[in-house]
Amino acid sequence: MSKNIIEELKWRGLTKQITSEERILEAEKEHSGVYCGFDPTADSLHVGHLIPITLLKRFQDFGFNPIALIGGGTGMIGDPSFKSQERVLQTNEQVKENSDAITKQLKGIIPGVDFANNYEWLGKLSLLDFLRDVGKEYTLGYLLAKESIATRIETGLSVTEFMYTILQGYDFYQLYVNKNCHIQVGGSDQWGNITSGTDLIGSKVGRDKTKAAGLTINLLTKKDGKKFGKTESGAVWLDANKTSVYEFYQFWFNQDDEDAYRMLKFFTFLTEDEINILQKQAIGDPKARIMQHKLAEEMTAFVHGKDGLQQALNITNGFFQGSLKDLSDKEIEVAFKAIPNGEITENETLIDVLVASKAASSKREAREFLNAGAITINDEVLKDENLAITKAFALDNKHVIIKRGKRKFFGAEFK
């Protein structure tokens, strides 16, 4: 283990900007609070949030008190940082529901984390009090110099979003005063908002007395420059009802070697030596996908626990190594939702089932697959296009899983 949190973050390649290493190391000695904000824009977090989530856990491992700040107040406005246009405002009810959902989610992932919701203070703050106590601490020139604001001036920025960075600065001040929180962390796009907080605290408590510091981490992009966490089917959610444990596991497993190595450093809690050993093993046996296996296992267990990981492994083995018949009814249901599928009625012909399940785009294509011996149901290669598909083919009397070739799976569900 590294000597301190700064060393730990640097060897992992996580650090982007730091206001004061000295203050962060002092906060480590004092076991002070460290916080990261999560705006409730949806009822689940996604894999893009895992860097700040794992960051809070890393600080916790070095003796800090981790605080997850839910943006119940700022979520009603929206962060303008590097967005191309104004956010659509959510209703109070949406923000409350989303806040409750991601709070529950975070509690399950990081035990022992402290929680706060900025609606607690922002919701009570009158406009006059805000202008007197907070607004007067910021000059217009200071705000216009913020990159997150400057990039939106020409395309349009409402006063509502313009005030966001001040509100976030006030959040840091509230946590500093009431929760002994000296450090704020976030992605590199949050640098302007973080320094709004450290500067406000300096103004309030004195530049020579403040212990506030901020740190940003590199935003992870894949080696091809594409945004991390986005797939053809959309975001990869941390909620198993939105992204199944099998799909979650496969997301990590399907990274290439270069990205897998970087992600092992960015996301897991493996040591530098352990990661380097995995890399050497992967170079010696590239087909074994050693780094990908470990990455998928570590991240699935971190988010979904040991039971979630075991379910993902069972489904993966059922698809690619063992038999789908060995899966439990629950695992069959999870597997079915993770693949293209459609509804059928009993005794439909095999060729119609292939089209309904999206295993083939047309009957002509279906015949090509059948003639090539590429269609398998329950480990049996089928070629008769007129074969009646009954519930006897279903794994659980309801779901039929069709294998096309070696690695393509499709599902048909009896109505």
pLDDT, tens only, 154-210: 677 777 777 888 899 999 999 999 999 999 999 988 998 999 999 999 999 999 999
Contact 212, 201 (CB under 8 A): yes
Instruction: For residue 29, indicate whether it is catalytic.
Output: no
User: Catalytic annotation on 189?
Assistant: yes
Q: Which of 15, 17, 41, 160 is catalytic?
A: 41
**Contact (Cβ atoms closer than 8 angstroms) between residue 33 and residue 114:** yes
Quick one: DSSP state of residue 91?
A: P
List pLDDT tens digits, range 295-337. Answer: 999 999 999 999 999 999 999 998 888 778 889 989 999 999 8
Identify whether 41 is a catalytic site residue: yes
Q: Which of 16, 57, 87, 398 is catalytic?
A: 87
230 is in an annotated binding site: yes
What pLDDT, on a 0 to 100 scale, did the predictor assign at position 82?
A: 47
Residue 304 is a catalytic residue: no
| Given 230, 242, 293, 337, the catalytic residue | 230
d(CA 74, CA 87): 12
The answer to whether 321 is annotated as binding is no
Q: How many CB atoms lie within 10 A of CB 2?
A: 15
Q: How many CB atoms lie within 10 A of CB 242?
A: 16
Local confidence band at 5 (pLDDT 50, 70, 90 cut-offs): very high
pTM: 0.87
Locate tokens 């529950």: which residue? 104
Domains of the chain: 5-217 (3.40.50.620), 230-335 (1.10.240.10), 339-414 (3.10.290.10)
Q: Mark whether 231 is an active-site residue.
A: yes
Among this protein's residues, is 83 annotated catalytic?
yes
249 is in an annotated binding site: no
Does 46 qualify as catalytic in the annotation? yes
Catalytic residue among 189, 257, 352, 396: 189
Place of tokens 């007395």: 209
CB 147 within 8 A of CB 196: no
pLDDT at 323: 77
Mean pLDDT highest for which of 78-82, 117-121, 178-182? Answer: 178-182
For this structure, is 399 an active site residue? Answer: no
